[in-house]
Amino acid sequence: MLNLIRSTLFMILLTPFTIVYGVFAMFTFPLPAHTRYRIITTWSSIAMWLIRNVLGIRHRVVGQEHLPTAPAVILCKHQSAWETISLQTIFPPVAFVLKRELLRIPFFGWGLAQMPIISIDRSAGKDALKQVVDQGRDRLTEGFWVVVFPEGTRAPIGAAKRYKIGGATLAVETGSLVVPVAHNAGEFWRRNAFIKRPGEVVVSIGPAISTAGRSAEEVNAQTEAWIEGEMRRLFPHHYTGTPAAAVTAEA
């Protein structure tokens, strides 16, 4: 019952704030990209305050010393909406790869459109990969880190989907490092679940992966091996059967 009350209060507070902020964000379009980013991501900081103090979901980051000095491609596990908010406060300025349909959501999508995003048409097939590379190269040149969820969609903790190659291809094409990220947000904020549970999300940032002289397939496989291995190392209670070492060896 307490979690239902927490979750209801969270939505009551966040929804009107998002509507007002979405309208406000629309008027930032004449400003430079980094200025728009700093203004609009104050929404994320306030949302994280509500997540921490209303929902009771805290987080802890390990491996922050692995972050390179130049903008890189972040390949992150995808379990919930939590990471789409939190990564904006954990990393330097980021640009998310997202489906174009999100920009049509009233208020939220309108504000999102003013962010340095990479919007793709997922029905475009191979052209979608070109959209990621072309727009991603622009964002990296502008000084933004690019966040890609290689699984493409949210997967419950303890499960994994096939890692798509778009993020690794962007990194190889631009000569950027890849930063792998594992976390357990889905343990407390499940996909499409209204009721959230309090607890501590552990975000683990892995050593940067070099792309020099390597294929996108090799980089993607190494990224998947590290993320899935780290998931099993940190959160073994969500996995049965295949140990982390076997997953790494297979990848």
Q: How far apart are CA 18 and CA 207, in angstroms?
A: 35
Of residues 62, 117, 113, the one with CA closest to residue 94 = 117
Query: Is residue 91 a contact partner of residue 74, using CB atoms and an 8 Å limit?
Result: yes
Residue-level pLDDT at 59: 97
In angstroms, how far is CA 7 from the centroid of its own chain? 22
| Tens-place pLDDT, residues 154-169 | 988 888 899 999 999 9
Q: What is the DSSP letter of 209?
A: B
pLDDT per residue over 30-78, tens digit each?
899 999 999 999 999 999 999 999 999 999 999 999 999 999 999 999 9
Task: Please compute the mean of the pLDDT values over residues 12-28 and round it to a whole number.
Answer: 90
Residue 251: pLDDT above 50?
Answer: no
Q: How large is the average pLDDT for residues 172-196?
A: 95
What confidence tier does 241 reach under pLDDT thresholds 50, 70, 90?
low
29 vs 196, more confident: 196
Q: What is the pTM of this model?
A: 0.89
Beta strands in the chain (DSSP E): 57-62, 73-76, 94-99, 118-120, 145-148, 178-183, 199-205
Distance CA 13, CA 34 (A): 27
Domains parsed from the chain with CATH numbers: 2-250 (3.40.1130)
pLDDT at res. 248: 41
Give CA separation, 104 vs 39, 69, 108, 113, 198, in Å: 21, 35, 8, 9, 31
**pLDDT tens-digit series, residues 4-14:** 999 999 999 99
Q: Report the share of the chain in percent with pLDDT over 90.
A: 69
User: Cβ distance 239 to 231 under 8 Å?
Assistant: yes
